[in-house]
Chains A and B, each alone.
Chain A
Amino acid sequence: DGGITQSPKYLFRKEGQNVTLSCEQNLNHDAMYWYRQDPGQGLRLIYYSQIVNDFQKGDIAEGYSVSREKKESFPLTVTSAQKNPTAFYLCASKIGGIGQPQHFGDGTRLSIL
């Protein structure tokens, strides 16, 4: 079955550590996205990428970094500079073209120890 796989489902981070969240898709989608979800705030865009080796900052990119070395993969690193990283992180992808919907993974919940 085609889809988006996020791993791990739950992740714990100590203060001062960087952590990397994995996102893999086998839908052959061109664009990929990372969102942060906090209660009552909806989805906020962190980074997105429309093609390999290129990505753009979203609304809340500070404290995060990404790479897009392969079409299928778009890992997100939460750096120690992100002071409030506890949240639910969602990865999405979509095929090229205006009006196409995004497809989502099942998310990673990150907590600070």
Chain B
Amino acid sequence: AQSVTQLGSHVSVSEGALVLLRCNYSSSVPPYLFWYVQYPNQGLQLLLKYTTGATLVKGINGFEAEFKKSETSFHLTKPSAHMSDAAEYFCAVTSPGGDKIIFGKGTRLHILP
């Protein structure tokens, strides 16, 4: 069965520091993977997606993620954190039939001044 585990429900980084949000997945088929961001009282916005091909995926707002099949990971990074990056981040994987998306429980990112 498909599942997603996000390590750390809360992560704090200083402004200007590296952002690393961890995501591990379990999938019975080649996975399609996503990262979404949610600001307070808003819906989810797609940051980036991995389908096939290049394993390093670039998204919006300077974020990128690397698909590592051997480690079943899809960690999200950004070289330099900005105050505006404070939000909740969700990693997700497509169900085997492609009709649903399974979400992780989310990681809230705090940016320290």
- A and B together in one complex: yes
A residues sitting closer than 8 Å to B (CB atoms) are 4, 6, 31, 33, 40-43, 45, 48, 50, 58, 88, 90, 92, 97-99, 101-107, 109
Taken together as a complex, chains A and B put the C-alpha atoms of A6 and B102 apart, in Å, by 22
Task: Specify which of A41, A50, A98, A107 is in contact with B42 (CB 8 Å cutoff).
Answer: A107
Query: Interface residues of B: mostly helix, strand, loop or mixed?
Result: loop
Known: A42-B90, A104-B44. A98 touches B103 (CB 8 A): no
Q: Using Cβ atoms and an 8 Å threshold, which residues of chain B touch A40? A: 9, 105
B residues sitting closer than 8 Å to A (CB atoms) are 9, 32, 34, 36, 41-46, 49, 51, 90, 94, 97-101, 103-106
Do B43 and A48 have beta carbons less than 8 Å apart? Answer: no
A-B contact count (CB 8 A): 54
